[in-house]
């Protein structure tokens, strides 16, 4: 057997590489695309002149004929172990990389080899491998092989690397059932064939070949497929690769991602340097649940302005895009841009309207005048389309016209039959709506069913100007936006619980298309979910399956808000008193007031604590939890200045209406906060008139309890209306500018069970107050029966706001009722 004649230096230079080194060399070769067989001067400094020994070495190399001899083999064997049959000890590995070998026939005798590395040589024939029946790994990369697996089938072969050769054709590898990894990059292969039966193949590298079409992969269990730098135009033949995890299709001419949508285990996809132009192609990847890495670098699609965020939005599970880690903020930005959550939509709507409103002349609004701490009372009916919100709102406003007026929204939709302009809606064109939006006239806007809807500030203001509370209706989107504002309406959810019935009703109306009906019906559940998930989001919920029943409940609820419901109780109590069966308990010290004397509750506290829920206080608390003392002082100064600026206003005109918190006291007309404070009471007494009011609350009643949480049911809202009974004491209350209209000007309010109108009249007559411009709180007509305290106790001090003494902020509302027009 021929033995290679090698000089000692040569041997040293080409001593077998450690497997690890070998690996890294190989990787480097693959990366750079070169793995030249080693040259004799390999490793020498190019700048150095060749030494004598090197020269000699060069001479020696010239005589090397490329034939492998046993001596060299024996030097390169490693890993002594049992033979496959277990009968003897043999060397299992042979590493002959970079030896300038061209002929390795000597290896025919090494039948026990399990791992053979002959990479980076000049080998053209691998037939000797046929004798290595137990070979599991073969690395013959970087040679001059033009034939593919040119040896008898080796059924144990698992890993084969034939990269960087000159192979043009693949052939049937059906016998290689154990083959798991096949590396064929940098060859001249044009077609993928012969692999269908390689049932263990999990890694296939065919990069840098001449493949034009992906085929021949059948149902192989491939996990990693590298087909980069071929001539592939479109993706096909992957549909059955159900286990594919990593796919490299970079450097091809692919323009569509169709064909990838079925790869449900795909985790990374490299499409670098292809022809993908459309963001819409990403849709093919949307359903891939495990895809977390995508590379679309050097594709025309990258030039699109919205590329990054839209890809992130479409593929929300991505962690890496274009070789960059995706930041959480980017994901949030993408979501907010393309599918903003309802809160974001509402926030944006609010922001836009606030910003636009800056264009409007700045002034103090009637709806914000009464009291810095007390929100202007708004009642919002919400619920799905055509569940009767509008009709119920109108009916309620008719019934309680002394307290409420309907605030019509603007819409771009056309009026339905029977709808009145400016009564049901302000019907405007989209252009007008747009103009109104951009000029800051809306408090909130929303789109529903292709039409714009908006609640204008003017709609609220015009009601506020009349001294009335505003009632309006809107979908949940409007509610969300309004909740961002400083208004603090009461929200009543009107919900058709019987969906079939609701659907039938919508159909019978004949106004809506099928999809519109479906949407409306589906929103019933949405409202339900919100109500369930966010207790307290709505102040009350009313089932609208039966319209009349719904109205009865709404009416009752509103009466409770206003305190009118209490008057029913008062009447009953009176009746009970007569029959000696009064069921209500009076609190100590209240006996002089009679059986209907309320139990003092924490309403006082709530009332006094109103600043705590004042919008500005809440906002500033949220925004600057850690104020410096200087900031704190500054804020307080500003708040003081603002309060002083509004000092002329009757602060609690609206205070008693829509108070939140529990109150067991019968609703009465509210009194000014100052009136509740005994000390302020004293000072007021100094200028007292002949009107009485109550300053004799039970001790500690101002501060005994904390505010309760928002009620979420109608019944818990009993507290809403007048905060304090005005019949608790005979303390005189100072009254300035009291208005008590003659009885004949009072519009009767059709509230059953209220009674005691006579008392009230008497009281009024007795007090004889006929002063102009009272600043009465919108409060309880129920207290008519308790009018020992009479109108006077419901009156508040009126001092004019500088420069605004011509028009009263609120018109007379005797006993909590709007004065009827003559």
Ligand X SMILES: Nc1ncnc2c1ncn2[C@@H]1O[C@H](COP(=O)(O)OP(=O)(O)OP(=O)(O)O)[C@@H](O)[C@H]1O
Stretch of 59-67, 444-452, 601-609, 637-645 contacting ligand X, by CB under 6 A:
444-452
Measured CA to CA, the distance from residue 463 to residue 409 in angstroms comes to 13
Min CB(440)–ligand X separation in Å: 15
Give the nearer residue to ligand X in terms of CB position, either 385 or 653. Answer: 385
Stretch of 232-240, 246-254, 443-451, 632-640 contacting ligand X, by CB under 6 A:
443-451
Give the nearer residue to ligand X in terms of CB position, either 478 or 670. Answer: 478
Segment holding 226, helix H or strand E = strand 224-226
Give the nearer residue to ligand X in terms of CB position, either 296 or 380. Answer: 380
Measured CA to CA, the distance from residue 239 to residue 487 in angstroms comes to 57
Min CB(636)–ligand X separation in Å: 37
If one asks whether residue 775 binds ligand X (CB under 6 A), the answer comes out as: no
If one asks whether residue 409 binds ligand X (CB under 6 A), the answer comes out as: yes
Contacting ligand X within 650-679 (CB under 6 A): none
Give the nearer residue to ligand X in terms of CB position, either 257 or 446. Answer: 446
Min CB(500)–ligand X separation in Å: 18
**Pairing state between β 451-456 and 442-448:** antiparallel
Binding ligand X by CB under 6 A: which of 10, 176, 453, 607? 453
Min CB(519)–ligand X separation in Å: 11
CB 397 within 8 A of CB 463: no
Give the nearer residue to ligand X in terms of CB position, either 389 or 739. Answer: 389
Range list of H helices, 358-388: none
Instruction: Write down the residue that tokens 């509004």 correspond to.
Output: 646
Give the nearer residue to ligand X in terms of CB position, either 118 or 409. Answer: 409
Give the nearer residue to ligand X in terms of CB position, either 40 or 478. Answer: 478
Name the residue with the smallest CB distance to ligand X.
478
> x/- site string to ligand X, residues 74 to 113, per CB under 6 A?
----------------------------------------
Min CB(363)–ligand X separation in Å: 23
Binding ligand X by CB under 6 A: which of 446, 593, 669, 815? 446
Min CB(475)–ligand X separation in Å: 4
Give the nearer residue to ligand X in terms of CB position, either 134 or 448. Answer: 448
> Which tokens in the block code for residue 562?
């206003």
Q: Which of 170, 157, 154, 155 is closest to 205 using CA atoms?
A: 170
Contacting ligand X within 150-179 (CB under 6 A): none
Contacting ligand X within 617-646 (CB under 6 A): none
Min CB(427)–ligand X separation in Å: 10
DSSP state of 657: T
Q: Which of 680, 671, 687 is closest to 736 using CA atoms?
A: 687
The dihedrals phi and psi of 382, each to the nearest 5 degrees, come to -125, 165
Give the nearer residue to ligand X in terms of CB position, either 260 or 550. Answer: 550
Measured CA to CA, the distance from residue 82 to residue 722 in angstroms comes to 98
Measured CA to CA, the distance from residue 424 to residue 188 in angstroms comes to 77
Q: Which of 540, 537, 547, 501 is closest to 521 using CA atoms?
A: 501
> x/- site string to ligand X, residues 592 to 621, per CB under 6 A?
------------------------------
Measured CA to CA, the distance from residue 485 to residue 470 in angstroms comes to 15
Give the nearer residue to ligand X in terms of CB position, either 438 or 641. Answer: 438
Min CB(761)–ligand X separation in Å: 39
Show the beta-strand stretches assigned E in 365-496: 378-382, 404-406, 409-411, 425-427, 442-448, 451-456, 469-474, 490-495
Give the nearer residue to ligand X in terms of CB position, either 129 or 387. Answer: 387
Min CB(452)–ligand X separation in Å: 9
416-452 burial string, b = 16+ CB within 10 Å, else e?
Answer: eeeeeeeebbbbbeeeebeebbeebbbbbbbebeeeb
If one asks whether residue 777 binds ligand X (CB under 6 A), the answer comes out as: no
If one asks whether residue 448 binds ligand X (CB under 6 A), the answer comes out as: yes
Min CB(713)–ligand X separation in Å: 22
Q: Residues 6 or more apart from 395 whose CB is under 8 A from it?
A: 551
CB 187 within 8 A of CB 210: no
Binding ligand X by CB under 6 A: which of 6, 455, 691, 693? 455
Q: Residues 6 or more apart from 471 whose CB is under 8 A from it?
A: 378, 379, 380, 381, 393, 396, 397, 404, 405, 406, 407
Stretch of 252-260, 448-456, 567-575, 806-814 contacting ligand X, by CB under 6 A:
448-456
Min CB(712)–ligand X separation in Å: 21
Give how far Cα 376 sits from Cα of 45, 239, 468, Å: 88, 64, 9
Report angle CA 369, 372, 377 to the nearest 5 degrees: 65
Give the nearer residue to ligand X in terms of CB position, either 537 or 607. Answer: 537
Give how far Cα 390 sits from Cα of 385, 518, 551, Å: 10, 20, 12
Min CB(447)–ligand X separation in Å: 9
The SS3 call for residue 778 is coil
Q: Residues 6 or more apart from 802 whose CB is under 8 A from it?
A: 648
Give the nearer residue to ligand X in terms of CB position, either 167 or 393. Answer: 393
Report angle CA 759, 763, 767 to the nearest 5 degrees: 175
Give the nearer residue to ligand X in terms of CB position, either 172 or 419. Answer: 419
What residues are paired with 426 via a beta bridge? 410
> x/- site string to ligand X, residues 458 to 497, per CB under 6 A?
---------------xxx-xx-------------------
Min CB(432)–ligand X separation in Å: 15
Strand order in the sheet with 378-382: 404-406, 469-474, 378-382, 490-495, 540-543
Q: What is the DSSP string of 180-209?
A: -EEE--SS------S-TT-TT--EEE--SS
Min CB(402)–ligand X separation in Å: 23
Residues binding ligand X: number (CB under 6 A):
19
Min CB(391)–ligand X separation in Å: 6
How many other β-carbons are positioned within 10 Å of the β-carbon of residue 694? Answer: 23
Contacting ligand X within 180-199 (CB under 6 A): none
Binding ligand X by CB under 6 A: which of 40, 454, 661, 785? 454
Give the nearer residue to ligand X in terms of CB position, either 149 or 502. Answer: 502
Min CB(421)–ligand X separation in Å: 13
Stretch of 118-126, 298-306, 442-450, 577-585 contacting ligand X, by CB under 6 A:
442-450
Give the nearer residue to ligand X in terms of CB position, either 457 or 660. Answer: 457
Min CB(540)–ligand X separation in Å: 16
Give the nearer residue to ligand X in terms of CB position, either 407 or 732. Answer: 407
Contacting ligand X within 356-395 (CB under 6 A): 385-391
Q: Which of 113, 124, 210 is closest to 170 using CA atoms?
A: 210
Interacting residues with ligand X (CB under 6 A) = 385-391, 409, 444, 446, 448, 453-455, 473-475, 477-478
């Amino acid at each position: 057997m021929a033995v290679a004649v090698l000089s000692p230096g040569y041997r040293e230079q080409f001593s077998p590489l450690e497997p690890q080194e070998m690996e890294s060399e190989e990787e480097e070769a693959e990366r750079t695309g070169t793995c030249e067989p080693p040259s004799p001067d390999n490793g020498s400094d190019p700048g150095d002149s060749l030494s004598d020994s090197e020269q000699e070495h060069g001479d020696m190399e010239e005589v090397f004929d490329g034939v492998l001899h046993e001596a060299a083999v024996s030097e390169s064997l490693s890993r002594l172990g049992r033979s496959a049959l277990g009968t003897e000890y043999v060397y299992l590995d042979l590493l002959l990389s970079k030896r300038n070998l061209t002929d390795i026939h000597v290896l025919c005798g090494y039948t026990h080899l399990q791992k053979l590395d002959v990479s980076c040589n000049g080998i053209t024939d691998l037939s000797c491998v046929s004798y290595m029946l137990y070979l599991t790994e073969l690395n013959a990369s970087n040679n001059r092989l033009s034939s593919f697996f040119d040896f008898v089938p080796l059924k144990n072969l698992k890993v084969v690397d034939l990269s960087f050769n000159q192979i043009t054709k693949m052939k049937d590898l059906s016998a290689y059932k154990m083959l798991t990894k096949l590396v064929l990059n940098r060859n001249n292969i044009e077609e993928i064939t012969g692999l269908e039966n390689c049932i263990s193949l999990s890694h296939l590298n065919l990069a840098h070949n001449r493949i034009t079409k992906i085929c021949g992969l059948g149902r192989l269990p491939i996990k990693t497929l590298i087909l980069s730098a071929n001539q592939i135009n479109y993706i096909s033949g992957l549909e059955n690769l159900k286990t594919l995890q990593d796919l490299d299709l970079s450097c091809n001419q692919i323009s569509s991602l169709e064909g990838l949508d079925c790869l449900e285990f795909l985790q990374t996809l490299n499409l670098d340097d292809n022809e993908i132009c459309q963001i819409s192609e990403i849709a093919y990847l949307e359903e891939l649940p495990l895809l977390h890495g995508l590379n679309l670098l050097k594709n025309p699609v990258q030039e699109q302005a919205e590329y990054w965020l839209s890809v992130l939005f479409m593929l929300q599970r991505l962690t890496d895009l274009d070789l960059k880690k995706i930041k959480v903020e980017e994901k949030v930005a993408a979501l907010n841009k393309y599918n903003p959550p309802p809160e974001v939509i509402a926030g944006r709507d609010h922001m836009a309207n606030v910003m636009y409103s800056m264009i409007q002349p700045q002034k103090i609004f009637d709806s914000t005048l009464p009291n810095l701490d007390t929100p202007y009372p708004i009642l919002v009916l919400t619920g799905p389309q055509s569940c009767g919100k509008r009709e119920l709102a109108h009916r309620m406003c008719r019934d309680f016209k002394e307290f409420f007026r309907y605030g019509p929204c603007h819409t771009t939709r056309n009026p339905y039959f029977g709808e009145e302009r400016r009564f049901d809606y302000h019907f405007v064109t989209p252009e007008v709506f747009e103009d109104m939006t951009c000029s800051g006239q809306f408090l909130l806007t929303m789109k529903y069913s292709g039409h714009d809807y908006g609640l204008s500030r003017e709609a609220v203001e015009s009601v506020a100007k009349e001294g009335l509370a505003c009632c309006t209706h809107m979908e949940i989107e409007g509610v969300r936006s309004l909740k961002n504002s400083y208004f603090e309406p009461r929200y009543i959810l009107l919900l058709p619980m019987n969906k079939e019935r609701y659907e039938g009703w919508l159909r019978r109306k004949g106004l809506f298309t099928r999809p519109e009906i479906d949407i409306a019906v589906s929103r019933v559940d949405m409202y339900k979910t919100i109500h369930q998930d966010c207790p307290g989001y709505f102040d009350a919920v009313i089932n609208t399956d039966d319209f009349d029943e719904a109205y009865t409940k709404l009416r009752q609820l509103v009466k409770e808000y206003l305190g009118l419901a209490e008057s029913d109780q008062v009447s009953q109590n009176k009746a009970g008193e007569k029959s000696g069966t009064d069921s209500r308990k009076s609190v100590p010290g209240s006996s002089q007031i009679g059986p209907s004397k309320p139990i003092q509750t924490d309403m006082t506290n709530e009332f006094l604590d109103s600043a705590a829920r004042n919008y500005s206080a809440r906002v500033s608390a949220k925004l600057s939890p850690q104020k410096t003392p200087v900031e704190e002082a500054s804020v307080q100064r500003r708040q003081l200045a603002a309060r002083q600026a509004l000092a002329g206003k009757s602060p609690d005109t609206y205070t008693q209406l829509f108070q939140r918190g529990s109150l067991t006291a019968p609703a009465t007309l509210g009194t000014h906060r100052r009136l509740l404070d005994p000390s302020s009471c004293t000072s007021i007494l100094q200028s007292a008139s002949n009107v009485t009011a109550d300053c004799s609350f039970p001790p500690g009643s101002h501060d005994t309890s904390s505010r309760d949480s928002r009620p979420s049911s109608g019944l818990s809202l009993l507290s809403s209306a007048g905060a304090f009974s005005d019949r608790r004491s005979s303390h005189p209350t100072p009254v300035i500018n009291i208005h008590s209209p003659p009885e004949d000007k009072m519009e009767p309010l059709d509230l059953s069970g209220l009674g005691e109108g006579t008392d009230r009249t008497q009281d009024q007559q007795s007090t004889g107050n006929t002063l102009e411009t009272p600043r009465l709180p919108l409060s309880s007509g129920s207290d008519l029966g308790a009018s020992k305290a009479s109108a006077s106790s419901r009156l508040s001090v009126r001092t004019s706001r500088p420069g605004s003494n011509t028009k009263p902020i609120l018109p007379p509302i005797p006993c909590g009722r709007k004065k009827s027009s003559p």
